[in-house]
Amino acid sequence: MIARRQRGRRRRWASRMRGHTGLSLTSLMDILTCLLFFVLKSFVAGGESTVPPPGLKLPSSSAERAQSTSLVVAIQKDAIFVGGERVASVEEAEADHQMLIAPLAERVKAARAQMDDIALQRGRLPLKSHLVTIQGDSDIPFHVLQKVMYTLDQGGFPDIALAVLKKA
Amino acid sequence: MNVFIVLIPMLLMSAVFMEIRVIEMSQAHAGQLASARPAAPALQLSLCVRGDAYVLLGTGVPALSFPRSAADRTGALDPAASRGLTDALARIVAAHPENHEIRIVAESQTRYQELVSLMDLARAAGLPEAALEGVSEGA
């Protein structure tokens, strides 16, 4: 008796559900609304948003200053990159007794010249100093960082910002 | 469906998003060898990273030494050393409020994370202008 009633209920429910197999528009709208609020909440107005190269672990710090637009030099464990382009290997930089890293210096000077050209084309005077952001791996030894900083200074980038990850 | 409505925002909220900040440095000091540095303010406060100790030096300030453990070398400063350094720096800042500079004199193999941690300590103690320097050869 009970089994027959259950079967009847299941049949009625199945016939009601026929033709309603798609997603409910109301629920979908709810999801999209939630996503929209979340995206708006996490949106950072102004400032510069830069993602460090994969494999690079930035040091953590309590620094609060936001990043601004600048040339980015990334120092990974094995190579040095300028604007995403590999310019020198860390091994070579370490082995060289000179403070100046020649390939990096060339690339940085070219970047500086390009910035000055752009400024002139826009009718502005070239800036005396340019900002550069170093995205260094937290494990790199100081002498590598020191050589990179020295080279950047010689290449016309005396203002340096060290990119760090904000401590939670 | 309602479960998904709750789950999606919850998962998104728990996701870790990297917040990148910067420490600005003056290249006038950075990257130079300690011996080649130009004339500095009267106090000339330095925090030297040595093999097994952090040494605070300054004109008119007695030299203070704090033990440096193996963990410190990875950047995770030992709480005792960290507390000792913060207290000492805060005392120096209280005695010399006009000074905002500190030189962090590092060894060639000092890890970047350790330097950043030391700069954080200095900034927390009221010394926002930190300069990095290398130990001159033979020092």
3-state secondary structure A147-161: HHHHHHHHCCCCEEE
Question: Does residue B17 have a pLDDT over 70?
Answer: no
Query: Can you give the length of chain A in residues?
Result: 168
Alpha-carbon span A163 to A136, nearest angstrom: 7
pTM score above 0.90:
no
What number is the average pLDDT over the span B15-32? 66
- Give per-residue pLDDT as tens, A61-84: 988 888 788 889 999 999 999 988
Q: Residue A163's pLDDT band (boundaries 50, 70, 90)?
A: very high
Can you give the pLDDT at residue A33? 85
What number is the average pLDDT over the span B86-102? 90
Q: Residue B36's pLDDT band (boundaries 50, 70, 90)?
A: very low
Strand bridging mode A131-136 / A159-166: parallel
Number of H helices, E strands in chain A: 5, 6
CB-CB under 8 Å, B27 with A157: yes
Distances from the Cα of A138 to the Cα of A53, A119, A124, A135, B22, angstroms: 13, 34, 38, 9, 14
Give the residue on B whose Cα is nearest the Cα of A37. Answer: B9
Q: What percent of chain B has pLDDT over 70?
A: 76
From the number of C-beta atoms within 10 Å of its C-beta (0-12, 13-18, 19+), residue B114 rates as buried
Nearest to A75 by CA among A91, A64, A60: A91
Report the residue of A31, A69, A146 to disrupt the B interface, i.e. the one with the largest count of B CBs within 10 Å: A146
What number is the average pLDDT over the span A41-68? 75
Can you give the pLDDT at residue B34? 43
Q: Domains of chain B (ranges plus CATH)? A: 25-134 (3.30.420)
Which one has a higher pLDDT value, A130 or B106?
Answer: B106
Q: Residue B30's pLDDT band (boundaries 50, 70, 90)?
A: very low
Looking at residue A98, the DSSP 8-state letter turns out to be S
Please count the other Cβ atoms lying within 10 Å of the Cβ belonging to residue A86.
Answer: 15
Can you give the pLDDT at residue B47? 92
CA angle B13, B16, A35 (to 5 degrees): 35
Give the residue on B whose Cα is nearest the Cα of A76. Answer: B112
Interface residue B61 vs chain A (CB under 8 A): no
Question: Does residue A104 have a pLDDT over 90?
Answer: yes
Using a CB-CB distance cutoff of 8 angstroms, which residues of chain A are in contact with residue B75? 59, 138
| Cβ atoms A128, A82 nearer than 8 A | no
Which CATH code, of 3.30.70.20, 3.30.420.270, 1.20.140.10, 3.40.190.10, is assigned to A60-166? Answer: 3.30.420.270
